[in-house]
Amino acid sequence: MKHPIVIAIDGTSASGKSTNAKLVATALGYVYVDTGAMYRTLAWYCLQKKIDVHDAKAVAAACRKWKTSLECADKKVHLLVDGYTPAKEIRTAETSAAVPHVAAVPKVREWMKKKQRECIQFGHLVMEGRDIGTNVFPETDFKFYLDACLQERTQRRAAEGVQENLAARDQRDSQRAAAPLMIALGAKVINNSGMTAEQTSGMIIAEINKRLAARK
């Protein structure tokens, strides 16, 4: 594939990034990449290895040394550590609490950006995260920023059985020095409060088609 297309979907926690990125990827037949899962995998790895996630140097050293590989199965990219993809383990409250610290380490972000850019080897991508449009693939013409009101996002997390202080997490994600959560230049901003996932993904697909048509 000569010039794979990258659809960048960024936004706040529980703004529907995962649901919509998966719907868009399926509709277009593109490969789905959950970059949050990659950061979560490193946070889980540090917890497993008893590395203090508040110790940026130790986390950076772990990230330099861990044995990983990228695989694409069923149109989804997986980050394997020592040949294993952690799944449930990266969604625990313990990992969720550890991940923002890991994600704030500049060397970690550098490593993640390189790996995330390598995903292009698998073809056209729908990549969700916090800095895809601003930092990982700033050159893409297909940038989206999702948000919803705090009350609705908190309800969505609660419906998944997770009680989380989203305002605090958003603040940490937006205020960190390295690649903070921001609206990328040229991004289509969608506030999906009160909207269904089908409506949101429909808007995203319509915008992608519009931007694709404008290229011709």
Which residues of this protein are in contact with ligand DC, per CB under 6 A?
13, 35-36, 39-40, 99-100, 103, 129-131, 169, 173
DSSP state of 24: H
Q: Give 5 or 103: the residue with its C-beta nearer to ligand DC.
A: 103
Tell which residue, 163, 180, 184, has the closest CA to residue 172: 180
Nearest to 169 by CA among 10, 13, 11, 16: 13
Instruction: Kindly state the smallest distance separating residue 33's Cβ from ligand DC, in Å.
Output: 10
Quick one: residue 35, left, alpha or beta (phi over 0 = left, psi -120 to 50 = alpha)? alpha
Nearest residue (CB) to ligand DC, 58 versus 97: 97
Q: Which is nearer to ligand DC, 118 or 206 (CB)?
A: 118
Q: How far is the CB of 202 from ligand DC (least distance, A)?
A: 22
CA pair distance 145, 184, nearest whole angstrom: 8
With 0-12 CB in 10 A as exposed, 13-18 as middle and 19+ as buried, what is 163?
exposed
Q: Which is nearer to ligand DC, 129 or 201 (CB)?
A: 129
Shortest distance (Å) from residue 186 CB to ligand DC: 18
The token pair at 200 is 């949101």
In the complex, the smallest distance separating the C-beta of residue 56 from ligand DC, rounded to whole angstroms, is 14
Q: Which C-beta is closer to ligand DC: that of 95 or that of 214?
A: 95
Between vectors from CA 64 to CA 176 and to CA 57, what angle results, nearest 5°? 50
- Min separation Cβ 40 and ligand DC, Å: 6
| Closest to ligand DC by CB, 38 or 208 | 38
Q: How far is the CB of 36 from ligand DC (least distance, A)?
A: 2
Nearest-10 Cα torsion for 145, 146, 149, 153: -140
